[in-house]
Amino acid sequence: MDIDALPGDDKATAYLRFAVSGGNDDWQGAEIFYALSDSGYQSLGIIQVAATMGNVIDTLEDMNSFIQDAEDEIEVLLLSGELETTTNENLLNGDNLALIGDEIIQFESAEFIETGRYKLKGLLRGRFGTEDKTSVHVAGERFVLLDDLILRVEMPKTVIGNTLNIKVVSFGQNISDIEPISITYNAQNLIPFAAADFSAEKDASDNINFSWIRRSREFNSWRDHVDMPISEIRESYRIDIINDTDQVVRSFNCDVNSAIYTAAQQTEDSGGVLSSVKARVYQLSEITGLGKETAGIFNF
């Protein structure tokens, strides 16, 4: 699981997470290996207890990530493990964190239907920067409870962007008999979250003034008069100006959470000052490059 940063992650360390289930009660564990080709495999660690994991039976619908979903529900079929209901207070304190597809969710209620099958309700969606994943679900995708049974491995930054071959070798198997699983490793936990409250205003000189609020991968509590930490080596952003055919006509970088698209630049790009503009903003990482996109269309 190459997923977004979770509480407890170091803001500068690249991680890859693993959930393994043997599929039966006789399974005793497995060792996980990786390589950049199909030889020279290195061990990443051992898992001796099956994770709570399985598949979603139906499709998780899109949902606002700012409120708890009191109406929708989702059924999951587990290969291993059990699920439990929690209180709303414990939910808000981090209980019942799970991965569906690539979206991180939480659930308050786990209604037992039959062995291995549960109905989940009281969902919190798009947790920890995954609000961009709420609308891309399909039936049958993975479900993993993100608890202490998950193996978190520190990865060298030199392998970011490379294809990794992964072998999960159950005890008693030979590594040469296992077919590799190939993934492109992006160090998702190091990618900056999408900015919030992206806005634009035109001043008396027809300059367009963009502003936004950065978010942090470092999970500090909110305190009065104290801003969230930056999480990156330095604060840096990229702004893209988009034309009517969805082409980038201008990009510029800045080191504060605001930028000016001057009237002269508008005229150079479009033949005159604009009454409407489409733009995208990204926070930049010196390790992974562009962060997650925040887009907006602004009319004046």
Give pLDDT, residue 23.
Answer: 78
Give pLDDT, residue 38.
Answer: 85
Please give the backbone phi and psi of residue 252, each rounded to the nearest 5 degrees, phi first. -150, 150
Q: Per-domain residue ranges for the chain?
A: 1-51+149-190, 55-145, 196-299
Low-confidence ranges of the chain (pLDDT < 50): none
Give pLDDT, residue 220.
Answer: 62
Contact between 126 and 133 (Cβ < 8 Å) = yes
Instruction: Please give the sequence-ordered ranges of beta strands (E in DSSP) within 3-102, or none if there are none.
Output: 14-18, 30-35, 42-47, 53-56, 74-80, 97-100
Residues 152-175: tens digit of each pLDDT: 999 999 999 999 999 999 999 999
Helix, coil or strand: residue 7:
coil
Residues 243-271: tens digit of each pLDDT: 999 999 999 999 999 999 999 999 999 99
Give pLDDT, residue 29.
Answer: 95
Domains 1-51+149-190 and 196-299 share a fold: yes
Class of domain 196-299: mainly beta
Query: 37: buried, middle or exposed (CB in 10 Å: 19+, 13-18, 0-12)?
Result: exposed
CA atoms of 262 and 118, how far apart (whole Å): 55
Among positive and negative, which fits the CA dihedral 173, 176, 177, 182? positive
Give pLDDT, residue 221.
Answer: 65
- pTM exceeds 0.85, yes or no: yes
Give pLDDT, residue 284.
Answer: 97
Q: Which fold has domain 1-51+149-190?
A: Immunoglobulin-like (2.60.40)
Contacts of 273 (CB under 8 A, 6+ apart): 206, 263, 266, 267
CA atoms of 92 and 86, how far apart (whole Å): 10
